[in-house]
Structure 1
């Protein structure tokens, strides 16, 4: 651990337990197959072992979103911190920052009871538990909507079985996946997860696959889903995923394939960056989802916050150019209905000035390598008094998440 990391870990200890909205499990290789009906086994997710390594196969095609779906060995939490902060010491090879460990040494990555013990050590009261491998599956199956819906339901059955959507102690809120590709099936899935106690749901930040062409998330055809979630007070989490946006750098000579690790053309990220979440929130606002469903709450998690400033500028311009389209101020809808979990290296003060401190969430991305080794060291990246009061910091670290899930 570097001196800078030690200083962040030594940040003032909170006198309350925090709520981390960006925690992850590492899925076992049967997370999509354990409950998948036989008729979809060749069309959904399969695991192929050639005697040397295991590959994930989506709809008969090897997928590279997660190059090692066994997660063994697995990267150490927070080891890429300096890379993402842009603080790599001169002369240090970025690849040397990558540290790995055996999965067997960390039962907390795949076992709920073991994870709760870690939460106690990390001073966390509650975490939003989000997918890792599953974030790439919908894109891989988008050509086969029935297989997509069957696979999502099978995954949610596994998730409830192994982690629980909302166990009685309230320590872990696991987010089932909702795909809108088949609206009727999506409504059925929402009813199913709500009946099992789900307090949050995860929707991919991407155009919705369709039989003829993709649809906007704001297409009124999806209103039955949004209406039910708004009625239940269950927020929608848009978490970084394979949103199909590698098609954009492919126009500039890129491969068009989303790979979680390994060397990539730097132009890919410059071109793609946070476009998917920008366009996702834009589709919800411009296509009037929050006008039709004013009580619907959404949260952007692990997408950073810099898209917010570009989006506000473009929303203002759109409202000026097409005032007849907007029944309400689109920027105010962003501020009222959307919560943002910034990257730890983002400018939290600027974000607070832009959308209000009440809409900022704390997320560590633990135990991923690009996240924080010690989740609550996030406080070291929050401005100190007088810019942020103790109450403001508590809002970011705890209270805003409670409002998101439970209401005012």
Structure 2
């Protein structure tokens, strides 16, 4: 029996991986402009990290984590999201002591959640995200939102909507929690078992329930915006003011709560409005998490960030029929005819590569016609033709594949000739 790929995972093959590389390179360049530095954390962490940060009442912790016991008897979890690990690294490496604050970081890598695979959603998926730690300025919230909106604009997405909400500070959430408990408690038996357990621990999670989202009590649930104290309300007004100042359109949705317990104040999602994208429209989610650094053992440090799935970003690009400007051609293909020419071609290919050109040649002893076909498939801009006759004259034929123009030049002048063509924009 053949061994197949595990359900909920995918092989990303040549021809497709170039899109991923383009997106990742674009994201890195935008992060450079915003002065965010890359951080890389382990793929697995101690399970307690996610219990303390993500929240025991979340679907991620209760149903979706890949958790196992290692040979030392320690509970280990494949990371289901990136923020907790970044904050753990921030605390453990005492990055809060760096003279330049806030600490602005970005990451990209595989995450793991055991959930039902569907279009654009996998059990192993790649997440790109940023975290800004060390400032409670609402302008930082807008900077983080601007960064991801800038990424989407640069990639060509147009049919996206930014949705924001405030989850308030601790006092605001306490008042809202009491109102939600009073609202749902009389009819909680009509809800799923998860919602029943959430009623006491974190009733706001009920608003995020997928099973009971059409229950009539959901539409009449108390809004967090009605329970914001003066400080939280002023903060949220500042965020909206700054978003308008940088010309970012947004909608306020009081029902937006996000799926993780560590959020407070600003919460946001970016949705795709593209036809055919799917029922789950969220492309990106994030928010402020003041208090998370303390929860993981660090000093009082405010923070905000977002994360997006590369898979869902690709789905959105497909839904809008956006073709990324992927460069799939090579500079040269070396075609040989004759045993001696084939031997010499090895050093010519090596010298061309050392000079910075992308080059390939035949390794299957194909006829000359088949070698030219291979050059066509690789979209080679130039073909270097070397036969024993040319070799006797210490020469090669250089053919421009687009125009068909061909000229014989010495082997020694091959690299200078190609470098000149590159300087003229012909290569």
- Normalised by the length of structure 2, the TM-score is 0.25
Greater share of strand:
2
